[in-house]
Structure 1
Amino acid sequence: MSLNLEDVLVAPVVSEKSYAGIAERRYTFKVHPDAHKTHVRQAVEKLFDVSVERVNIVKVQPKPKRRGMIRGTRPGWKKAVVQLREGDTIEIFEGAQI
């Protein structure tokens, strides 16, 4: 399966832990389930015009949830933590510093 680079990155991850990594040039994205490290690297470099140093991929496991007698499962997803080279930043994250 061939992915377009625009389809690889789904959304930025908004959490305290992901925003704490911005000081170390680490940015976290929710990515397409079929994407791998090379896809993520190429997509970030093309869309944000930065140089990527390292990419780590994590599969977030689905969690069982319950509300009263109703049982269900939260869906799992895939996230990528992207380390940029010295001096590079992604501007969309800069406005929401904690």
Structure 2
Amino acid sequence: MAKSAYQILRKPVITEKGLGVKETESTLVFEVSANATKTEIKEAVQKTFKVKVDTVRTANFVGKERRRGKFSGYRPDWKKAYVRLKTGEKMPEYAENL
């Protein structure tokens, strides 16, 4: 069963570092599905934003323990993808209102 682009790309990571690499390195940063492959991420970005992707780098993050009084639990594990666009591609504006 094929996953849609919206199941693979969860949300953009809008942080100081994420916006910095967007401006300097033509790189978009997304939180993606934990079991998504680099090829699936590349195809999802190309389909969603109509741009050409050069490379995809991923990083897995382990959920941290969180406490609420005497109760403790864990935040979910998640995956981040750094998607570099090919030179000459127009940068999509997913964070226009910041």
RMSD: 1.6
The sequence identity of aligned pairs, in percent, is: 35
Q: Could you say which residue in structure 1 is the equivalent of 2:71?
A: 70
In 1, the alpha carbon distance for the partners of 2:71 and 2:27 equals 38
Q: TM-score, normalised by structure 2?
A: 0.86
Q: Which runs of 5+ in 2 are unaligned?
A: none
**Residue aligning to 1:51:** 52
Residue-pair matches, total: 96
Residue 28 in structure 1 maps to residue 32 in structure 2: no
Q: CA deviation at 1:62?
A: 0.8
Partner of 1:5: 5
**Contact 1:55–1:82, Cα closer than 8 Å, also in 2:** yes
Once the 2 structures are TM-superposed, how far is the Cα of residue 91 of structure 1 from its aligned partner? 2.0
Task: Answer with 3-12 or 56-65: which moved more.
Answer: 3-12
Counterpart CA distance in 1 for 2:52 and 2:71 is 47
Code of the residue aligned with 1:72 in structure 2: it is G
1:96 CA drift (Å): 5.0
Q: Check conservation: 1:3, 1:35, Cα contact below 8 A.
A: no
| DSSP 3-state at the match of 1:6 | helix
1:91 and 2:80 are equivalent in the alignment:
no
TM-score, normalised relative to structure 1:
0.86
CA deviation string 1:50-94 (max 9, x = no partner): 11111011111110112332211111111111011112211223x
Structure 1 residue runs of 4 or more that deviate by more than 4 Å after TM superposition: none
